[in-house]
């Protein structure tokens, strides 16, 4: 089969991109090593030269995705702050659910396939979630919200729900619902 990613990229990068696409679209356990190496245009030997095992590739996939999200969020919090930044981050989530290839939250989906909380994959997921919760809390505190901790937890609930519902229900409606719910949570009044 013809490789799906450009052959100019380094094999490791090709593998990681292919893994990211397939793992997200079809799940971790359903995508085998055969499929990965074929579509990445590499060989099995090259696979195991860069990753000790498939599970390490799964972890790398999630960490790379986390990195991308952090960059996107940092770009927002770098230019704005408080309430405006908060709404931009939520916009990001809402827009995500409406994307063509949207298949829910990569981290929640992966967690569903790894029951053991001590597993390296679950640890990577927990780290990403902790980072995101922290960002929300800081933004809420910066916006002068009276209870940033509680509000951040509610936002996480809404985010998790939106990312799950976005795949199972109508994404457009979910997006609207999320935006309205967050708007109500933050209050219609003025804030920093």
Member of 84, 141, 181, 191 binding a second copy (CB under 8 A) = 181
Residue 146 is classified by DSSP as S
Site for DNA in 46-85 (CB under 7 A): 46-50, 52-55
CA pair distance 180, 147, nearest whole angstrom: 19
For a second copy, the closer CB: 12 or 129: 129
**Count of residues of this chain found to bind DNA when the rule CB under 7 A is applied:** 24
Minimum gap (Å) between residue 28 Cβ and a second copy: 9
Beta strands in the chain (DSSP E): none
Residues 133-192 that bind DNA (CB under 7 A): none
Q: Residue 98: which residues within 8 A CB-CB, separation 6 or more?
A: 166, 171, 172, 175
> Considering the complex, what minimum distance in angstroms separates the CB of residue 181 from a second copy?
5
Cβ burial, residue 143 (10 Å; 0-12/13-18/19+): buried
Helix, strand, coil shares of the chain as percentages rounded to 5? 75, 0, 25
67 binding a second copy? (CB under 8 A):
no
- Positions touching a second copy (CB under 8 A) are 25-27, 29-30, 103-104, 108-109, 111-113, 115, 125-126, 129, 150, 153-154, 156-162, 164-165, 167-169, 173-174, 177-178, 180-181, 184-185
């Amino acid at each position: 089969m013809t490789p799906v990613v450009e052959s100019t990229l380094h094999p490791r990068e090709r593998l990681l991109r292919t893994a990211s696409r397939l793992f997200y679209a079809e799940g971790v356990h359903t995508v085998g090593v055969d499929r990965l190496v074929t579509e990445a245009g590499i060989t099995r030997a090259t696979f195991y030269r860069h990753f000790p095992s498939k599970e390490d590739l799964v972890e790398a996939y999630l960490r790379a995705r986390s990195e991308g999200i952090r960059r996107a969020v940092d770009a927002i919090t770098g230019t704005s702050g408080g309430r405006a930044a908060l709404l931009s981050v939520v916009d990001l989530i809402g827009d995500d659910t409406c994307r063509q290839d949207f298949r829910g939250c990569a981290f929640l989906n992966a967690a569903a396939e790894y029951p053991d909380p001590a597993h390296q994959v679950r640890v990577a997921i927990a780290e990403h979630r902790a980072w995101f919760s922290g960002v929300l809390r800081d933004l809420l505190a910066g916006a002068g919200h009276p209870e940033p901790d509680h509000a951040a937890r509610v936002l996480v609930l809404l985010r998790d729900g939106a990312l799950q519902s976005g795949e199972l229900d109508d994404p457009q409606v979910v997006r609207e619902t999320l935006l309205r719910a967050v708007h109500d949570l933050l209050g219609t009044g003025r804030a920093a």
